[in-house]
């Protein structure tokens, strides 16, 4: 008699989240499944403003490469650098993000960028969430007794959680009709900046019972035969 094989548990994924910055760069390593993730490592890389720029960037790159070598993540997620009124600050953040990309590329790891809005929507359910709310929800999702400090570390962990959640759902719907629905939900949530992409998606997908059970066609009425 043939025995049907049962699929084993999903393999845990380890993600390095990076909140790029030159004065402070947050690094957070999270291991999933996404429903019960745990912190593997979290740190803040600091550089002094009076150091030469190239030396500060080297410190950041060396720290990221050390974390990658020690924890061997499956993927890297970086908070996307957006335009800022403070040009000097935006340039420094962009330079730090650049060395993060180089460090990941040297390790052969794919990098996924997420905007601050995408991170807030995924972790807090709304793009309007402030840093304090994001920090509290990061602590709750990771089972921590207190909010990670400084805020750069909490943000890095939030980026890692975002990648775990989004990559899990994307993997489940790839190649199905729901894939385009998911992509549309991401875009709509980004534009709306409220409710979160999961809420938007929930409004667009039919209930699971409706997707699994085909509806029976009504039998013709005896009239008109």
User: Is 187 domain-assigned?
Assistant: no
Residue 191 counted as domain residue? no
Tell the burial category of 143 from Cβ atoms under 10 Å away from its Cβ (0-12, 13-18, 19+): exposed
Residue 195 lies in a domain: no
Answer positive or negative: Cα dihedral of 134, 138, 139, 140: positive
Reply yes or no on whether 19 is catalytic: yes
Structure tokens at 141: 């999702």
Q: Is residue 67 part of a domain?
A: yes
Which residue range(s) make up the domain with 47? 13-172
pLDDT (tens digit per residue) in 110-149: 999 999 999 999 999 888 899 999 999 999 999 999 999 9
Please enumerate, by residue number, every residue annotated as part of a binding site for Mg(2+). 19, 79, 152
Determine which helix (DSSP H) or strand (DSSP E) holds 42, and give its type and residue range.
strand 38-46
Residue 204: inside a domain: no
The one catalytic residue in 50, 54, 65, 152 is 152
SS3 content of the chain, % helix, strand, coil (to 5): 50, 15, 35
Residue 148 falls within a domain, yes or no?
yes
Catalytic-role residue among 34, 79, 118, 155: 79
Say if 119 falls within a structural domain: yes
Spatial separation of the C-alpha atoms in residues 21 and 91, rounded to whole Å: 10
What's the rounded Cα separation, in Å, for the pair 103 and 109? 9
Which residue numbers belong to the known binding site?
Answer: 19, 79, 152
Spatial separation of the C-alpha atoms in residues 208 and 160, rounded to whole Å: 28
Question: pLDDT tens digits for 34-77?
Answer: 678 999 999 999 999 999 999 999 999 999 999 999 999 999 99
Domain assignment present for residue 63? The answer is yes
**Catalytic site includes residue 70:** no
**Paired strand residues for 38:** 31
Q: What tokens were used for 93?
A: 């953040």
| 130 a catalytic residue | no
φ, ψ of residue 51 to 5 degrees: the values are -75, 150
Total domains in the chain come to 1
Check: CB of residue 196 under 8 Å from CB of residue 125.
yes
pLDDT tens, 116-127? 999 999 999 888
Give me the catalytic one of 19, 34, 118, 155: 19
What pLDDT does 49 receive? 94
Residue 19: give its domain's CATH number: 3.30.420.10
């Amino acid at each position: 008699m043939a025995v049907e094989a049962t699929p084993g548990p999903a393999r845990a994924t380890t993600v390095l989240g990076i909140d790029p910055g030159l004065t402070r760069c947050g690094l957070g390593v999270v291991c999933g499944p996404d429903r019960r993730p745990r912190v593997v490592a979290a740190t803040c890389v600091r550089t002094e403003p009076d150091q030469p720029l190239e030396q500060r960037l080297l410190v950041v790159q060396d720290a990221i490469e050390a974390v990658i070598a020690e924890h061997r993540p499956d993927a890297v997620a970086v908070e996307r650098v957006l335009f800022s009124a403070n040009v000097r600050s935006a340039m420094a953040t962009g330079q730090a993000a650049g060395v993060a990309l180089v460090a990941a590329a040297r390790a052969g790891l794919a990098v996924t960028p997420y905007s601050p809005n995408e991170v807030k929507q995924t972790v807090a359910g709304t793009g309007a969430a402030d840093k304090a709310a994001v920090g509290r929800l990061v602590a709750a999702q990771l089972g921590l007794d207190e909010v990670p400090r400084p805020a750069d570390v909490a943000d890095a962990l939030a980026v890692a959680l975002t990648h775990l959640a989004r990559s899990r759902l994307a993997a489940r719907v790839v190649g199905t009709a729901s894939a385009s629905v998911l992509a549309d939900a991401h875009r709509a949530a980004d534009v709306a900046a409220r409710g979160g992409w999961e809420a938007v998606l929930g409004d667009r997908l039919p209930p699971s019972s409706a997707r699994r059970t085909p509806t029976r066609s009504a039998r013709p009425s005896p009239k008109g035969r």
